[in-house]
Structure 1
Amino acid sequence: MIRAAALLLALAVPATAQEAVATYGTGPTALMFRSTTDIAVLGPTIQAFTEANPDITVTYEQWGSNALYKLTLDGCQTGDNPADAVLSSGVHQMVELVNIACARPYRSSLTETLSSERIWRNELWGITREPAVMLYNTDLVPPEEVPRTRFQLLDLMRQQNPRYQNRIATYDIEASGLGYLLAFSDSIEASTFGGLLEGFSRTDAIATCCSAEIIKGVAEGRYLLAYNVLGSYVSTQTNDKIGVILPEDYTLFLSRAFMIPKNAPNPIAASRLLDFLLSDAGKAQLFMSGLEWQRDEDESGLPASSERSIRLEPMLLVARDQQRRSLFITQWRLTFGAPRFLTP
């Protein structure tokens, strides 16, 4: 973990506690839906689903990715408290759950429209398409210092500019399953990964569990730059102090993974939710929520050749290998020192 701090939004809340809960619809059929996606972001899409399916009531529980993985695994192994549908940004964790037979298969004309990188064994489906971006505070970072690539970010951190000391943020890879996945993907994809670790150490960068904390910190100017944040959580329309960069050397794209647990009490309702999310109406809702990125080279400057999709495939099991994970986290800690927990 980064030696400066590891900021946990809910330090007093047990790691297994849900973060929020909401109910949509009033129909007689109950559907338990658990997701890592903020209710404020995905809620309107679930509301649209219940309006199109008035016989269904959805209970939406929001969890952190590590806690959701553990809860889903426990439900698979014991049969206790299972969900009907699970949607997670920790897609490596979801691939593992499918691999150990915790999922139900399903096929429809809509699931068959997915590209091969967004479906695995007809038991896991990539619902969204979201870039991992860099953020910067538009008031406090001069235009000439805005990094457009990882190489430029490295150069910026090597300058030892005191303005950036303790003011660069990224995910805590131990507290965030998504953060671990993105960092692990970087370590495979990029020759710059070792340099990034060195740069974060040199600038006493901040590690935190959550997208909301990072984005708020950039907007408020507590952080000047942030690395590897899901772009879907950033709204430049509502906060013009946040600039968004899709790294031009390469940009990782994530598809949140949807699974129907093998012991789901109501798998039919879950399959209806899946089909809705893949339908034109569902995709329109996801686009309005910022969860479905569409490439516009004039806007982003990102050519198609720079896109790197995180595929739903067995290769992600490498990221879940305990020995590999232990070595990776050891490298992280050796670079930054022992973790130190502070309140925000």
Structure 2
Amino acid sequence: MRLTALVPAIASVAILLPGASLSEVAEFPAQSGQTMQELSIYSSLDNDLAAPLIDAFQKTRPNVAVHYENLLTGEIHDRVVAETENGATADFVFSSAMDLQVKLANDGFARPVQTPDTPSWPNWANWRDTAYALTFEPAVFAYHKPSFAGREPPATRADLVRWVAENPETAFGRVGTYDVTRSGVGYLFLARDQELYPGIWSVIEAMGRAQIQQYPTTSDLLERISDGRLALGYNLLGSYAAEWARTHPNIGMILPRDFTVVVSRVAVVPTAAREPDLGAEFLAFLMSRDGQLLLSQTLRLSAVSLEVAGQQSPAGGMEELSDLRLRPVPVTPGLLAYLDQATRAKLLARWSAAISTR
């Protein structure tokens, strides 16, 4: 059964935002049939993955309707800033671009919220009660199983370079990753790679020689891996890869054995929220035991809650993480260094030069 079946009455449309970006919009009517309030959410979580979260929340608040917009991470930040300057914005914002979410909080676009679980929330996952990490997600390699029949897929970045060199015909045009100019989480992964791995540019140059393909979303990449247009995806969000691997038999997933970057989806309640109390209620629900269990069991997003983390299946159903070299990204203003315009321009220029290697 698809997750969207949990909410039988969802009206979905697609709208074009300024700059010709695509926003997927879903309306979740009040379950009581009588709307008393509307909760507005901006998120980078796909509609079908958000549906069970919203459904469970609405069971506790049956008179609340929910307006949900699935946006690219950079667009989420820009929408909140622009709309705040013009009056009001969404009530709850949830994004995998940790740096952009922390920037919203640091720049005064997020309000402090304390929930019943705030006192026990890990320090690395809470910045001044304004930005909360709610998930624990590794960056993974995803691969097309038939393309690796009879051989092991790459398990480290050195393996990836070797595979590209030894299999130029198989690899050419069939290695994919995020378009780091459009994907906030893709840019964050690149910045962390550069910090953690001195040889990262030789890896990117190798992918460039294989004419790397770039896409703005994880779903774009996994769709192409599933049907074989891509043989390998680099640095994909593990939550999506795990779900696709579960439902698409041609997709395999590996957590890199040299080091695994771990990011989180970060939530804020905007200062200019139309219904800030509703936004705070939704945050409290996702931080609660029930919300964290739903994230880890239904959506396979590993929980941050220490109570739930001890009960869930390993990595939210992905794989045992204890023997890996995990490199989590804490929710701190240190993330803002990635957004410095000169630093960003320099990193993107180096990326462009590296992938242009022939």
Common topology (TM > 0.5)? yes
State whether residues 137 and 224 of structure 1, in contact with CA within 8 Å, keep that contact through their aligned partners in structure 2: yes
Matched, 1:214 2:218: no
For 1:286 and 1:248, how far apart are their aligned partners in 2?
25
Q: Residue deviations 1:19-77, cap 9 Å, x none?
A: 21112241311111110110111211111111112132111111111111110111233
Partner residue of 2:65 out of 57, 76, 80: 57
- What residue is the counterpart of 1:20 in the other structure? 24
Contact 2:301 2:315 in 1 (8 A): no
Pairing 1:112–2:119 present: yes
The SS at the match of 2:267 is: strand
Change (3 A) 1:202 1:99: same
Q: Secondary structure at the match of 2:185?
A: helix
RMSD between aligned residues: 2.2
Q: Which residue of 2 aligns with 1:237?
A: 246
Q: Which runs of 5+ in 1 are unaligned?
A: 1-9, 339-344
Match of 1:292 in 2: 302
Residue 333 of structure 2 is aligned to residue 310 of structure 1: no
Q: Which residue number in structure 2 is paired with residue 283 of structure 1?
A: 292
CA distance in 1, matches of 2:44, 2:283: 16
TM-fit CA distance, 1:237: 2.2
CA contact (8 A) 1:29 1:56 kept: yes
Measure the CA separation in 2 of the matches of 1:330 and 1:258. 30
CA deviation vs aligned residue, 1:261-299 (integer Å, no higher than 9, x gap): 111121111111001101111112112112226536997
Alignment of 1:35-184 (within 5 A): 35-79=43-87, 81-184=88-191
Deviation at 1:17, TM superposition (A): 4.3
Mapped to 2, the partners of 1:135 and 1:143 lie a distance apart of 17
Q: Given residue 61 of structure 1, which amino acid in structure 2 is its aligned partner?
A: E
| CA displacement, residues 64-93 of structure 1 (integer Å, 9 cap, x when unaligned) | 1111111011123332x4111111111101
> Which residue in the other structure is 1:328 paired with?
347
Counterpart of 1:195 (choices 192, 198, 202) is 202
For residue 146 of structure 2, give the secondary structure of its aligned residue in structure 1.
Answer: coil
Q: Flag the 1:195–1:127 CA change in 2: closer, same or farther, 3 A.
A: same
3-state SS of paired residue (1:41):
helix
Counterpart contact for 1:133–1:245, Cα < 8 Å: yes
Is 1:136–1:224's contact at 8 Å kept on the other side of the alignment?
A: yes
2:147 counterpart SS class: coil
Moved more, 207-216 or 151-160: 151-160
Deviation digits for residues 132-167 of structure 1 (CA, Å, limit 9, x no counterpart): 110111111135341111121122123253111110
Instruction: Name the CA distance, whole Å, in 2 between partners of 1:45 and 1:251.
Output: 27
* Partner SS state of residue 38, structure 2: strand
Tell me the equivalent position of 1:269. 278
Structure 1 Cα separation of the partners of residues 321 and 128 of structure 2? 31
**Structure 2 gaps, min length 5:** 1-13, 304-312
SS of structure 2 residue aligned to 1:31 = strand
TM-score using structure 2 length: 0.86
Asked whether the 8 Å contact 1:104–1:262 carries over to 2, the reply is yes
Aligned partner of 1:247: which letter?
A: P
For the residues of structure 1 that align with 2:222 and 2:338, how far apart are their CA atoms? 26
Partner of 2:261: 252
Bigger relative CO (Cα 8 Å, ≥ 6 apart)? 1
Change in 2 beyond 3 A, CA 1:18/1:168: closer
Q: What amino acid does structure 2 have at the position aligned with 1:256?
A: R
Taking the aligned partners of 1:245 and 1:110, their CA distance within structure 2 comes to 33
Local SS of the residue matching 1:75: helix
Aligned partners of 1:151 and 1:192 also within 8 Å: no
8 Å contact 2:314–2:320 — kept in the other structure? no
**AA matched with 2:62:** P
Shift of 1:213: 1.1
Contact persistence 2:39–2:91 (CA under 8 A): yes
Cα 1:142–1:14 change in 2 (3 A) is farther
